[in-house]
Amino acid sequence: MQQLFPREGETRPRLRFPEFRSAPEWGQRTLGALTSIVRGGSPRPIDAFLTQEEMGLNWLKIGDVDRDAKYVTRTEEKVLPEALSKTRVINPGDFILSNSMSFGRPYISKIQTCIHDGWIAVTDIPNDLNRDYLYYAILSGRSQEYFSDQAAGGGVQNLNTDVVKLLPLWLPTEPEQAIIAASLSSLDAEISAEGRQLAELKLHKQGLMQQLFPSAVEG
């Protein structure tokens, strides 16, 4: 994946798809110059705003998203509409990044949800910026190294909106963005399929071992 993005001081990636080898050099912009970067908000005390009513608004917590997931698809809890003035709402297609612990890890939301101040949202993404390309660009080693270098805080590293706004992004043409995104998405799909197959094999092995050895009752 790292070869698909330019190295420090370079304007072309080391690995380029054949149809783009004679294409122009990549441009560079900061994430904040292309999108809106905002921090989530937390109504307090949160227990006073939680609800199980249907009219409640989705309330996204860190635990609602698997670390290695690409998409936000659900929330376990909801908050009252009265929380709107104290929180931030994101829409399908918006990005979020955790600003602590697994900081800088991007996720694409597939739902409308409120986010607390442990999240940073990337919104107003322009139509000519491929969302899957943006996802992999933020996830790339170079971007993650930038976050690691810039993260502030004591024992726990964390990010703030100013750091995220200044993230440098390499921008090829839209067609090249699309083919890079499609290639990496295809690999992710294969990895997920292999992961499911491995989990099934482990479960099969566990069941087989239980049948091959006597149980405690059987002696």
Output the average pLDDT for the chain. 89
In DSSP notation, 157-191 reads -B--HHHHHT-EEEE--HHHHHHHHHHHHHHHHHH
Decide: 169 and 25 in contact? Cβ < 8 Å: no
Q: Where are the domains of the chain?
A: 28-171
- The two structure tokens encoding residue 108: 């694409």
Q: What is the pLDDT of residue 101?
A: 62
Q: What is the pLDDT of residue 134?
A: 98
pLDDT tens digits for range 143-158: 999 998 887 655 556 7
Q: What is the pLDDT of residue 7?
A: 76
Task: Decide if domain 28-171 falls under CATH 3.50.50.60.
Answer: no
Spatial CA neighbour of 180 closest among 37, 6, 35: 6
Spatial CA neighbour of 155 closest among 108, 101, 110: 101
Q: What is the pLDDT of residue 17?
A: 82
Q: What is the pLDDT of residue 1?
A: 67
Q: What is the pLDDT of residue 156?
A: 56
Q: What is the pLDDT of residue 193?
A: 80
| pLDDT tens, per residue, the chain with 219 residues | 677 777 776 667 777 888 888 888 899 999 999 999 999 999 999 999 999 999 999 999 999 998 889 999 999 999 999 999 999 999 999 999 988 767 789 999 999 999 999 999 999 999 999 999 999 999 998 999 999 888 765 555 678 899 999 999 999 999 999 999 999 999 888 887 887 888 888 888 888 788 777 766 655
Decide: 31 and 65 in contact? Cβ < 8 Å: no
- Label residue 103 exposed, middle or buried (CB < 10 Å: 0-12, 13-18, 19+): buried
